[in-house]
Amino acid sequence: MKTIIVGGVAGGASAAARLRRLDEHAEITIYERSGYISYANCGLPYYIGGVIADKEDLTLQTPESFYKRFGIVAKVRHEVIDINLTEKTVTVRNLETDEVFEDSYDKLVLAPGAKAVKPNIPGIDSEKIYTLRTVEDTFKIYDHLRDTGAQSAVVVGGGFVGLEMAENLVRMGLDVTLAEAAPQVLSILDGDMVAQIHALLRKNGIKLLLGSGITSFEKADGKIASVFGNGEKLASDLVLLAIGVAPDTALAAKAGLKTGLKGSIVVNDKMETSVPDIYAVGDAVEITHFITGEKALVSLAGPANKQGRIVADNIVGGDSRYKGSQGSSVIKLFDMTAAATGINERQAKSIGLDYEKVILSPASHASYYPGGNVMTIKVLFERQNERILGAQIVGVDGVDKRIDVIATAIRAGMKATELAELELAYAPPYSSAKDPVNMAGFIIENLATGKVRQFYYEDVAGLPRDGSVFLLDTRTPAEYMRGHAEGFANIPVDDLRQRISEIPEGKPVYVMCQSGVRSYIACRILSGMGYECFNFAGGYRFYSLVENEELVHKSSYDCGMNK
């Protein structure tokens, strides 16, 4: 049986290697239009920034190594330009010689990936505007920086590629401005969770222009000027365009395959297209979102690799199925990490889910062991059935392992309250006896059983200051003096029982502390005395970092969480 695979990198190369492991006698050919069959796509910005020093490290496999190990013929700089469904052939152009030829297949796998979006605006074809999608793109940008001595750059787009490129350009000494049409960068996070990322970028010298759409580009005395919707112009030595990707499906559409969201290739859970014996994988396909059940596009290497494996299984007669993606992702930015899995609050609202959320600020490891940092965790779950909808975490260390635990819990169908029951590895340098994931579960359990009621950052400004409610800050006087929310009176939690007469009876009490621990204790005291009490989710640390877009890693963290 002969299988032709169109495209390498994650999905195509994985399908080819898996197919060989399953069938030693299969005839397998890969056609890849770029010069590289399998490369570290996610590592490209770090080569430009010098973190990855040797360009050879970007190449995971070459056609020669692929053939030597797997007996797979991989032809780079070869583009498949047509598919004949009746004859089961593909038309291929050799991009080096311009030769055109046909090749036949029994099974065809499409892994064309996605292409960088370039809006049709004046000046978009300037030689000073770059996109980053392939190894060739990387070398072009690297050579430009080396040969021209560029001193400034405008990065357009605040997604993964835009942020990673902004960081690496700063590392190279460039003056960097990041322009994002949305009011925030990193759309995987909610606005409250992204505040400290904004602060981090500014701290490291990146100028942020949020809510700023670019309408055109112009020449400007040897530079390129980005022209914004308000008429402002910003000149720089180069522009890195990173406003997203679109499925590269012209070949599939031309052949008559069914397409869906944004022109993506429609597949079933076996990764079969609308045409028999043709499969598709990776950034070009429409998948089902694991949380929402809706159709979605997920441009991540992990799902593409899994889909390639599934295709190979099915080609040899197996019955492997893709159960959808929850979009688990992580990004390192300077000394911080941001990660997410599932859906965020914006998405939950948009599809009308009845959800609840918890926000906490635990330490990355035991507070008495040196070097710990505070992270911010936000977990969403459905009220009715406690299904975990998603999580977001921002911090310095320990972020990746906590997001992976929650991602696993989502995939396993665990209830949000069951996070409290997980037995996770503990030693002081790595965690606390009550891991941050456990702590999220404890808070959710308290909500589910009615032991605590919450209010949130977005509620604070609207709380009445007319005496109809009592606003209480239970931190120490020194903490309170360093900053507090308007209208909150200070009674330290350890003095609360002795000063209970200062809290008027019959009025709801809204309580805040540094991390949410002392305010929870205060609410338990007040509830026991007959008061209606609401605990602030995330604590004053969270309130302050959202309100002021500041970084708070090592502030007066309340160690009471570990007691």
Cβ neighbours of residue 400 under 8 Å, at least 6 residues apart? 330, 337, 339
Query: What is 228-289 written as a DSSP string?
Result: ETTS-EEEESEEEE-S-EEE--HHHHHHT--B-GGGPEE--TT-B-SSTTEEE-GGGEEEEB
Partner residues linked to 59 by β-bridges: 39
Cβ neighbours of residue 328 under 8 Å, at least 6 residues apart? 300, 302, 339, 340, 341, 342, 403, 404, 407
Partner residues linked to 266 by β-bridges: 286
Q: What is the DSSP letter of 168?
A: H
539 token code pair: 């604590």
Nearest residue to 411 (alpha-carbon basis) of 309, 320, 310, 291: 291
CB 175 within 8 A of CB 151: yes
Partner residues linked to 338 by β-bridges: 331, 394
Alpha helices in 50-105 (DSSP H): 63-70
| Separation in Å, CA 474 to CA 35, 99, 307, 464, 501 | 62, 76, 52, 19, 15
As a 3-state breakdown, the chain gives helix, strand, coil percent values, each rounded to 5, of 30, 25, 40
d(CA 200, CA 338): 11
d(CA 107, CA 537): 54
d(CA 12, CA 456): 46
Cβ of 454: how many Cβ atoms within 10 Å?
20
507 token code pair: 């009025």
Annotated active-site residue in 42, 523, 533, 559: 42
Task: Show the CA angle centred on residue 41, arms to residues 35 and 45, nearest 5°.
Answer: 110
d(CA 319, CA 265): 21
Cβ of 489: how many Cβ atoms within 10 Å?
12
- 42 catalytic per annotation: yes
d(CA 556, CA 481): 13
CB 510 within 8 A of CB 463: yes
d(CA 450, CA 149): 62
Q: What is the set of active-site residues?
A: 42
